[in-house]
Amino acid sequence: MKTEMKTDSAKRKKASGELSRQEEFIRKHRRHHHEIASWRTIIFVLFLVLWEVSANLKWIDSFFFSSPSRVARCFVDQIRNNSMLAHIGVTLLETLLSFLLVILFSLLVSTLLWHSRKLSEILEPYLVVLNSLPKSALAPLFIVWLGTGTRTIIVAGMSVAVFGSIISFYTGFQQVDPEKITLIHTLGGSRRDAFCKVVLPGSVPILLSTAKVNIGLALVGVIIGEFLAARRGLGYLIIYGSQVFQLDMVITSIIVLCVIALVFYKSIQIIEHQIKIRFKM
């Protein structure tokens, strides 16, 4: 009886020790993230203060480099006349459509390449060459082929990310453990079963990391398209502002683009985190 009591007491102490170590790890993890977030905020605030002080003391020419206060006034003025929100909405819509089409098209093509080794060997050099092309050089061709408008801008947004995305997805499919695929075939499964049950689920981390890159590339492509073929959007505002020397508008649009890129990245990061928690990846 005494032995059982000692054993139970030892187990409780061990469980209590493990729990305390786990709680300590969680506290350290949260403290680390709070520290990183604090330093990021401090650096950003210091940058804004230095920028504002430099402009006020004439260390830099505020006409060319603007200042946080001028940017804030420009943003408020643009919001009041509803032009900024309209331009932001156009750029957001075009970027999201480009991003979704890149993901769907890349998944389709990379799946076909995985199913047909001969097709992948034929198309691989073409994909590498197309991915290495400067996409800004293709934008004038898109205007000639498709005209100006939203369709051209979406295609320009896709062109920046799609070829690299196909290569990344296909590489991820190829890196899946071949023994798992062999097991599926041994159990009587088809190549489709191997893809749906092993290859695609096993490639989710690579798909998500590629998506985080693609959303930024799609935004870059959309802005390139808006530079050349748009009458709306943040890219158009940047070009228009530079032409009429409203540099406050240019810098404000650039800062808004940075915020949009950050929101996109964080959104996909949150989705990635939720998927990893749900599927214990």
pLDDT tens string 189-218: 777 777 878 888 888 888 888 888 888 889
Residue 148 CA neighbour count, 13 Å, CB half: 8
Q: What is the pTM of this model?
A: 0.81
Closest-CA residue to 156 (of 213, 217, 224): 224
| Residue 248 pLDDT | 86
Boundaries of every domain in the chain: 1-60, 67-279
pLDDT tens string 66-125: 888 888 888 888 888 878 888 888 899 999 999 999 999 999 999 998 888 888 888 888
Residue partners of 111: CB distance under 8 A and separation at least 6: 173, 195
| Integer-rounded Cα radius of gyration of the chain | 26
CA 193 to chain centre: 30
Closest-CA residue to 89 (of 228, 216, 237, 251): 237
CATH fold group of domain 67-279: MetI-like fold (1.10.3720)
**Binning pLDDT at 50, 70 and 90, where does residue 2 land?**
very low
DSSP string for residues in 37-88: HHHHHHHHHHHHHHHHHHHHTTSS-HHHH--HHHHHHHHHHHHHTTHHHHHH
